[in-house]
Copies of this chain bind each other. A is one copy, B any other.
Amino acid sequence: MATIRDVAKEAGVSVATVSRVLNDKGYIHEDTRKLVNEAIQKLNYKPNEVARSLYKKKSRLIGLLLPDIRNPFFPELARGVEDEMQEQGLHLIIGNADEKPEKEVEYIQTFKQNNVIGIISATNHADTTPYENLSFPVVFLDRTTNSHPSVYADGLDGGRKAAQEIIKRGSKRIAVLRGPNSVRTAQDRFKGAIEELCHANMDFHVISSSFSFSDAEKVAETLFEKYPDIDGVIASNDLSAAAILHEALRVGKSIPDDLQIIGYDDIPLSKLLFPPLSTIRQPAYDMGREAAKLLIKTIKNEPLPEKNIKLPVTFIERQTTRKVEKND
């Protein structure tokens, strides 16, 4: 691989001159710049990013912090971030914080030590202390905060929509799964749902649950024992909806006749469930893209038309909810 020395020799200039051309710093005669660029092309020289980053005090690395890439909502989100970053010549270091504050702090430290030029954080904790006083910008993703720029979906509206749609389709005894307390987006959708249920004078059960797989299975196993008469479930995400659907079929319920279920997220496999899951769709990929764009704008010191971007959610009607008459 060609080095900066080879380029300097080929162009007949000093290494410092090549460096000035590369970093676009200081005065360079146009002819010299041309000579250097020709040498770079001829030798197919690729500057060492670490050396450049030290010189310019900048890298092309972005830190992306996720709760857990194994939750099927996050790969979509991460791809959205990656695709936008890649188009801008930036690269991702990814960390999974596992909803553990100490792991989150550790990864922020790691990102710092690797001279990232920005962080996108999609972790769940409301506390933003570890993100204060960093020398580079932070954008929160799938998480709302006033202290930093952020991109999130409209959870309050999502919860309302879920409740409206299940009520409209005739469920009377509804269970609402309340996602993790510490996750504001989960609480937003929960708030939206109970607001709407109260508004409609419905009775309902609140079931506490996390977003994790194994928890969803446990909740599903006891749900129909505890509440044998429920005819509707508003789940906190698609994973828990899938677990409940699965258990409902196992105990012989007919879906959607005996029980309607509405999920949240619209992860890729939701449409492959049987029956395919009706759900509230969060635009995960677009959220990732938007967060990347917002971070890049912040890094470039460009003005932000909106500091906190709220994306709309939509009801995806599939077959775990009944059809509604057109003239309802």
Residues of A within 8 A of B (CB): 1, 46-51, 53-54, 59-61, 68-70, 72, 74-76, 78-79, 82, 91-96, 109-110, 112-115, 213, 239, 242-243, 245-246, 249-250, 268-269, 272-274, 276
Establish whether residues B61 and A69, one from each chain, have CB atoms under 8 Å apart when the complex forms.
no
Which residue on chain B has the smallest CB distance to residue A268?
B213
Chain B contacts for A115, CB-based, 8 A: 48-50
Chain B contacts for A246, CB-based, 8 A: 272-274, 276
The residue from B1, B72, B243 contacting A72, defined by CB atoms under 8 A apart: B72
Interchain nearest-CB distance for A195 vs B (Å) = 30
Which residue on chain B has the smallest CB distance to residue A57?
B50
Interchain nearest-CB distance for A138 vs B (Å) = 16
Q: Which of A53, A75, A76, A245 has the most CB of B within 10 A?
A: A75
CA gap between A173 and B9 in the complex, in Å: 70
CA gap between A94 and B94 in the complex, in Å: 7
CA gap between A27 and B53 in the complex, in Å: 30
Chain A contact residues, majority secondary structure: helix
Establish whether residues B46 and A112, one from each chain, have CB atoms under 8 Å apart when the complex forms.
yes
21 contacts between A and B (CB under 8 A): A1-B112, A48-B113, A49-B113, A50-B115, A54-B54, A61-B114, A69-B75, A70-B75, A70-B76, A91-B95, A91-B110, A92-B94, A93-B94, A239-B272, A242-B272, A243-B272, A246-B273, A246-B274, A250-B274, A269-B269, A273-B273
Q: Which of A60, A93, A113, A213 has the most CB of B within 10 A?
A: A113
Establish whether residues A245 and B274, one from each chain, have CB atoms under 8 Å apart when the complex forms.
yes
Interchain nearest-CB distance for A215 vs B (Å) = 13
The 7 closest A-B pairs by CB, nearest first: A49-B113, A242-B272, A69-B75, A50-B115, A70-B75, A249-B274, A94-B94
Chain B contacts for A82, CB-based, 8 A: 94-96
Interchain nearest-CB distance for A292 vs B (Å) = 14
Establish whether residues B91 and A50, one from each chain, have CB atoms under 8 Å apart when the complex forms.
no
CA gap between A269 and B72 in the complex, in Å: 9
Establish whether residues B72 and A79, one from each chain, have CB atoms under 8 Å apart when the complex forms.
no
Establish whether residues A49 and B273, one from each chain, have CB atoms under 8 Å apart when the complex forms.
no
Which residue on chain B has the smallest CB distance to residue A70?
B75
CA gap between A112 and B47 in the complex, in Å: 10
CA gap between A49 and B72 in the complex, in Å: 32
Chain B contacts for A72, CB-based, 8 A: 72, 75, 268-269
Chain B contacts for A50, CB-based, 8 A: 50, 53-54, 59, 113-115
